[in-house]
């Protein structure tokens, strides 16, 4: 049985007092929703704050990217070891906001996946197609290409050490989420592909949906059999709304 997981991707947002209110509010308000799991991915400077507030609680935290390299002369970068030192359980890799700026490629995401898992982090590996690719019916092709690039580097068994996230680029930050049926179709297809490679991995791996996931559409999306939770951007900036999404996940667990 796959437990639902809801992850806040707060992107480049936040202040020290704002994070405090968010994290403490989340802890308080999700106390009764213990059938699902929750995590928050914050900008790197705030990870110490997350560690101070969340240590010993059921809420996990993580980074939004990490270097493929270990310690060394890489100005401006943060290593997997550093994320672990700040108590991170997760790290987002391959987000389209990085891929589209040329900061990540199919191959570099595979390398990051490997480095993250070696350090003991759970990568949240993002995949998804552009609007143009969606309109041309290329969603399957694009997501499988992204998935294969990682599997080639780490092997199918190691994929189980991470979490997958399908985030159609046309749904990110647009207010227009994929329909639950579309998201289910793609996630079912991806899971089926993995099951063919390794039944256990395919059946057990968590696949999240992301892209304009809100309080309003969370219950419908989470009601789909292959959707194991969500990666939430804009709606995670509002504590009340994020709590409602957590509640929807908990109810469908």
- Within 8 A by CB and 6+ apart from 101, the residues are none
Among 190, 232, 243, 246, binds ligand 13P (CB under 6 A): 232
Answer yes or no whether residue 231 interacts with ligand 13P by CB under 6 A: yes
Name the one range near ligand 13P by CB under 6 A: 12-20, 139-147, 179-187, 231-239.
231-239
Residue bearing tokens 């998935």: 147
**123 touches ligand 13P by CB under 6 A:** no
Question: E strand or H helix at 123, and its extent?
Answer: strand 122-127
* Complex with ligand 13P: residue 62 or 233, whichever CB lies closer: 233
For ligand 13P, the closer CB: 26 or 201? 26
The residue among 79, 153, 181, 164 whose CA lies nearest residue 125 is 164
- Binds ligand 13P by CB under 6 A, chosen from 59, 127, 205, 213: 213
- 172 makes contact with ligand 13P (CB under 6 A): yes
Active site residue 32: no
Query: Would residue 44 show up in a list of annotated catalytic residues for this protein?
Result: no
167 binding ligand 13P? (CB under 6 A):
yes
- SS3 sequence of 66-94: CCCCCCCCCCCCCCHHHHHHCCCCEEEEC
Listed in sequence order, the residues at least 6 apart from 47 whose beta carbon sits closer than 8 Å to its beta carbon are: 61, 63, 83, 86, 87, 88
Residues that are catalytic: 95, 167
């Amino acid at each position: 049985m796959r437990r639902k997981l809801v992850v806040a991707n707060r992107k480049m947002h936040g202040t020290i007092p704002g994070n405090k209110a968010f994290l403490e509010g989340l802890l308080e308000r999700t106390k009764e929703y213990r059938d699902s799991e929750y995590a928050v991915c914050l900008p790197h400077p705030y990870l110490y704050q997350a560690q101070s507030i969340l240590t010993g609680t059921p809420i996990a935290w993580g980074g939004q990217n990490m270097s493929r390299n270990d310690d060394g002369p890489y100005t401006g970068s943060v290593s997997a070891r550093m994320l672990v030192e700040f108590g991170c359980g997760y790290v987002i890799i391959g987000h389209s906001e990085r891929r589209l700026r040329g900061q990540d490629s199919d191959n570099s995401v595979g390398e990051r996946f490997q480095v993250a898992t070696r350090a003991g982090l759970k990568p949240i590996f993002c995949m998804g197609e552009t609007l143009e690719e969606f309109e041309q019916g290329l969603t399957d092709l694009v997501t499988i290409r992204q998935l294969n690039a990682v599997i080639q580097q780490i092997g199918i068994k190691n994929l189980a050490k991470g979490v997958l996230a399908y985030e159609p680029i046309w749904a990110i930050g647009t207010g227009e989420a994929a329909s639950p049926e579309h998201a289910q179709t793609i996630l079912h297809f991806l899971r089926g592909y993995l099951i063919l490679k390794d039944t256990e991995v395919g059946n057990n791996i968590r696949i999240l949906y992301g892209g304009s996931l809100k309080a309003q559409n969370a219950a419908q999306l989470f009601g789909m059999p292959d959707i194991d939770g969500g990666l939430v951007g804009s709606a995670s900036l509002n504590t009340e709304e994020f709590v409602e999404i957590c509640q929807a996940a908990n109810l469908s667990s």
